[in-house]
Amino acid sequence: ALASLHHSIVHYSTGSSSVARFFDSCSSGISQRFGGTSAFGEPRVLIGAYIQFRYIRRIADFQMAFRIFNAVRFSSDFLNGHFVVANFNRFTHKTVNNGKIFERNIMKGKNLCTVLHGKNDIRMEEREIPSPKPNQVLVRINTVGICGTDVHYWQHATLGPYTLKKPMVLGHESSGIVAGLGSEVVGFKVGDRIALEPGVPCRMCIHCKSGIYNMCEQMRFFANPPDDGALARYIVHDADFCYKIADNMTMEDGALLEPLSVAVHATRRANVTIGQKILVLGAGPVGLVNLLTARAMGASKVLITDVVNSRLQMAKDIGADEILNVSGMKQSEIVEEIIERLGGRPDAALECAGVASSLETGVLAVKSRGAVVTIGLGAERVELPIVDAALREVDILGVFRYTNTWPTAIEMVSSGKVSLSGLTRAHFKLEQSKEAFNKFLKGDVVKVFIHCDDSE
């Protein structure tokens, strides 16, 4: 394996001639330098190692270097030292203490970010590449999907109780590649392809301990003032909210796990299961992933409503059994049409439009003891047919983000139960972030992606 590093120049410093003979016998493609005496006169003890990959022409060699080091590492009392790996303008300092590798980012270079300064004020700025804390990973961001909340902050600099008070990096639907590890991180290695769950809770409150960490009052969430988001070349993130994605998943799939997780959480709240009839209100991006998720959860028939024919056609193309354009229809007519097309009242309604009339449709249409889940966010106050809901024991359920959904979402996509390939999309480079946000406003594609990795 060492011979495959013939494109590299590697220097080793050790205190053991036996180790020198070992490396010398393994590869003539490695330049070696040995010297010094072993501790206490014992030739078997390696008292220090300094390894520097000064020039590596291919990323494959960079990854191979890590595999080789792990393959030939010595027992805990046999190896103490440090090494530095250089790949283009990215550097990582590693300290080895009693056989355990501690890694600290000392990367050099530019970290371009998309920063919101105020209403309609997006600027491209260069910041320092951050260093991961012991429980964090450094991530080279690959793909970020633009969400409606990103656009809302861009246009208004506020959303609900959150108001922009200082410049903030946008973006929360993201995927990337592990570029560095904190000293306490296990289960990841440099080069892993990951998706990032954008919220990090306190882990200590009653909500976190009950498993509903999305209710944590100390939640830190990407691009939610004052916390920065993921529209950058590099970010750091807590390792326990990073997830490896399957080999058959694209980086765009990884970014789409965030809206898909919203749908997983919503369908769980509605107890969607095999054989049910489901009503989805709104055929925008959130409505479409809820359609896909409801089908994957076992729904036998799904009807989706909207006022835009192109959106409804997209819904039909990706699996909706029935589509209904409700433009110009009376509420009573809409409810009657839904019941007729589904062959009965739906078991649950997933409101994804954030429109009061759609929420009312859901309440009036679902069966007695059915559920209406409010996913879309609209006006702060709305009027509802509450007497009808009370007399028929209709549950009106709120959802806020998600909790414990990423593994399920990954399995859905990697297994083929959910296919995201049918969602139309547009692509932009990080430097084109302003153009990407303007593209989102046109509404002619389901998803707008920004690709942040300048090496691609």
- Span 333-378, pLDDT tens digits: 999 999 999 999 999 999 999 999 999 999 999 999 999 999 998 8
Whether residue 196 has pLDDT greater than 70: yes
CATH number for the domain that contains residue 388: 3.40.50.720
| Domain stop point among 53, 72, 105 | 105
Residue 102 has pLDDT above 80, yes or no: no
Q: What is the pLDDT of residue 379?
A: 86
391 and 270, same domain (yes or no) = yes
Residue 65 has a pLDDT of: 47
Query: Which tokens hold the place of 290?
Result: 């809820």
Percentage above 70 pLDDT, the chain:
76
pTM beyond 0.95: no
Q: Which two tokens stand for residue 348?
A: 């649950």
Reported as a single tens digit per residue, the pLDDT across 426-440 is 999 999 999 999 999
Query: What CA dihedral angle connects 287, 350, 362 and 424, to 10 degrees?
Result: 10
Claim to verify: residue 134 and residue 197 sit in the same structural domain: yes
Q: Does residue 142 share a domain with residue 86?
A: no
Pair 234, 264 in one domain:
no
User: Is there a single domain that holds both residue 22 and residue 95?
Assistant: yes
- In this structure, the answer to whether residues 144 and 268 fall within a common structural domain is no
Residue 456 in domain? no
**Enclosing domain of residue 57:** 2-105
Other beta carbons within 10 angstroms of residue 118's beta carbon come to 11
* Residues facing residue 82 across a β-bridge: 50, 95
Q: What is the pLDDT of residues 247-288, one digit of tens each?
A: 999 999 999 999 999 999 999 999 999 999 999 999 999 999
Instruction: For residues 264 and 204, state if they share a domain.
Output: no
> For residue 334, what are the contacts with CB-CB under 8 A and spacing of at least 6?
305, 324, 326, 361, 365
Number of domains in the chain: 3
* pLDDT tens readout for residues 18-30: 444 443 444 333 3
Using CA atoms, how far apart are residues 228 and 187, in angstroms rounded to an integer? 25
pLDDT in tens, 294-319: 999 999 999 999 999 999 999 999 99
Note whether 371 and 313 are same-domain residues.
yes
Question: What is the average pLDDT score of the chain?
Answer: 83
Q: Is the pLDDT of residue 1 over 60?
A: no
- Name the residue among 120, 164, 222 with its Cα closest to residue 438: 120
pLDDT of residue 23: 39
Q: Which H/E stretch holds residue 388? A: helix 386-391
- Domain end, chosen from 398, 415, 443, is at 398
Q: Are residues 266 and 283 in the same domain?
A: yes
Higher pLDDT, residue 109 or 205: 205
- CATH code of the domain containing 195: 3.90.180.10
